[in-house]
Amino acid sequence: MHVHILGICGTFMGGIAAIAKAAGHRVTGSDRNVYPPMSTQLAALGIDVVEGFDARQLDPAPDVVVVGNVMSRGAPVIEALLERGIPYESGPEWLARHVLRERWVLGVAGTHGKTSTSSMLAWILEYAGLSPGFLIGGVPVDFGISARLGESPFFVIEADEYDTAFFDKRAKFVHYRPRTAILNNLEFDHADIYPDVASIERQFHHLVRTVPPSGLIVAHADDPHLRTVLGMGCWSRRESFAAAGGVAEGDTAASADSAPRWSARLPAATADGSQFEVLCGAELVGAVHWKLLGRHNVDNALAAIAAARHAGVLPEVSCAALEEFRGVKRRLELRGTVAGIRVYDDFAHHPTAIATTLEGLRRNVGAARIVAVLEPRSNTMRLGVHRDTLAASLAAADDVWLYAPSDLGWDAEAVVAELGPRGHSARDIGRLATDLAATLRDGDHALIMSNGGFGGLHDLLLAALQEKHR
């Protein structure tokens, strides 16, 4: 089958391309911005990619066109596709029909932590010898790729609530029909798609409706929006998790109804999340000492351990796997160190994610200076939905630089003013790199946060630091 993919250079659609190629299909595609690393990854797979959305790419007509959600009516290739009656499907629909239908799907949903939790879960299954397939919205370091077909019944997928395609406005995850579903958390996001948090809750409820009676829903115990979702109806077995609330030895007062099913104990000396014990009810079932930081990652780990047990992996095996887990690219990833200044790359782009990332780093570095650098790049952030909570989310940073391009859509200077002397703004990325390099000093931790490439700021800053200290 010849599969042609529109919007192929996105992480999700590029993952579908890799899976389709591994399944034996001929795969081609197109996108508006074709550049490394995705362009080189696709080329290495033998996938031909053209730039732009001209109608000529449909000659000769492929067997099916997989339409990414970046596409809209008016694009020449879309108009030709519809006019000529060429078969087409959305990415989630194609994946569900051709890959997931006969697999044990483990779906990971939530506003935050989907990529990290999916990566942990895939690695646990791999460590246990189960060779899962996966499609993840990032690159787990242990695999070096974001997607693979796999050799077993198990398939781990990052279950995104974003809309599916221009012709299908349901959330992507309703197509996946997981047997094991993780619900990490739920907050208002994707303001360009959803008018309020209640509409997102409804989409999560639609996901819950697709889990079979013998399936398992693993949900965060302390999330009020998830409680609302599950209160709308649940027909599957449930287990809950929360890093807080571990049952101390000898304490039997907490009932099964009130205590999280899965919890963690963190030693007071290492409350940064780098070490923790895992409890199932009141029973200690394992311990983890790993490379990751932050209580949010402890939550992610608990969810992955619970989901893996549903697939047959014992908790002690999962804990051993997590001790070897090396993380995900762009999740507090150290990009380089120059003259004692450490530069990190992180995907955080929502106030909650920003705050939890900073908290994890602060617990690890103690009183060392943290300089936070933020690009408000997501559609929700650019609309200004989170501007009133943005300053508070940056409380753990000693210094804050906010990138405020002229087309941002809201006045970033009000946020900078709220930060007081800690706050700075920049309208040019090159100048931002130069100004940062001038102010950073030995022992500083520069945390660069964006859900995009931030114009190459990481490399520009490292180069400027090297020049400064040459």
CATH of the domain at 149: 3.40.1190.10
The pLDDT tens digits of the residues spanning 38-50 come to: 788 898 899 999 9
Residue-number span of the structural domain to which 382 is assigned: 333-468
Report how far residue 353's alpha carbon sits from residue 447's, in angstroms, rounded to the nearest whole number.
13
For residue 72, is it within any domain?
yes
* pLDDT for the residue 452: 81
Q: What is the pTM of this model?
A: 0.85
* Inside any domain, residue 155: yes
User: Residues 12, 60: one domain?
Assistant: yes
Task: Kindly state whether residues 84 and 173 are assigned to the same domain.
Answer: no
C-beta separation of 51 from 30 below 8 A: yes
Burial of 133 (0-12, 13-18, 19+ CB in 10 A): buried
Query: In angstroms, rounded to a whole number, what is the distance separating the alpha carbons of residues 18 and 85?
Result: 26
Let me know whether 312 and 387 are in one domain.
no
Task: Using alpha carbons, select from 53, 27, 29 the residue that is nearest to residue 39.
Answer: 29
The total number of structural domains in the chain stands at 3
Q: Of 272, 293, 324, which residue constitutes the final position of a domain?
A: 324
On the 0-12 / 13-18 / 19+ scale of CB atoms within 10 A, 74 is exposed
Where residue 34 sits, what CATH number does that domain have? 3.40.50.720
Q: Are residues 136 and 246 in the same domain?
A: yes
Same domain, yes or no: 265 and 316: yes
Six-digit token pair at 378?
Answer: 């997501």
Same domain, 183 and 297: yes
Last residue of a domain, one of 324, 345, 360: 324
Q: Own/partner pairs for 250-257, CB < 8 Å, 24+ apart?
A: 251/282, 252/282, 254/282, 256/281
Regarding whether 418 and 319 lie in a shared domain, the answer is no
Return the percentage of the chain with pLDDT > 90, whole number: 72
Residues 303 and 370 in one domain: no
* Residue where one domain finishes, among candidates 263, 291, 324: 324
Name the strands in the sheet holding 445-449, side by side, starting at the edge strand that comes first in the sequence.
333-338, 341-346, 445-449, 370-374, 399-403, 423-426
Answer yes or no: is 263 within a domain. Answer: yes
The number of beta carbons lying within 10 Å of the beta carbon of residue 245 is: 18
Q: pLDDT per residue over 415-462, tens digit each?
A: 889 999 999 988 999 999 999 999 999 999 999 999 888 889 999 999
Q: For position 255, what pLDDT does the model report?
A: 35
Indicate if 374 and 464 belong to the same structural domain: yes
Q: Is 257 within the bounds of a domain? A: yes
First to last CA, the chain: 56
Q: Where are the beta strands (DSSP E) in 368-442?
A: 370-374, 399-403, 423-426
CA distance 204 to 231: 11
Distance CA 379, CA 461 (A): 25
Length of the chain in residues, anyone?
470
Mapped onto helix, strand or coil, the DSSP state of residue 125 is helix
Higher pLDDT, 411 or 286: 286
Quote the radius of gyration of the chain (alpha carbons, Å). 22
- Same domain as 437, residue 362: yes
- Label residue 333 by pLDDT band (50, 70, 90): confident
275 lies in the same domain as 219: yes
Q: Residue 392 falls within a domain, yes or no?
A: yes
CATH number, domain containing residue 424: 3.90.190.20
In a shared domain, residues 139 and 159: yes
Tokens of 69: 């959600």
Report residue 421: phi and psi, to 5°: -65, -15
Please say whether the beta carbons of 303 and 183 come within 8 A: no
**In-domain check, residue 97:** no
pLDDT of residue 388: 85
327's tokens: 């993380």
In a domain, 96, yes or no: no
User: Quick check: bond before 153 cis, omega within 30?
Assistant: no
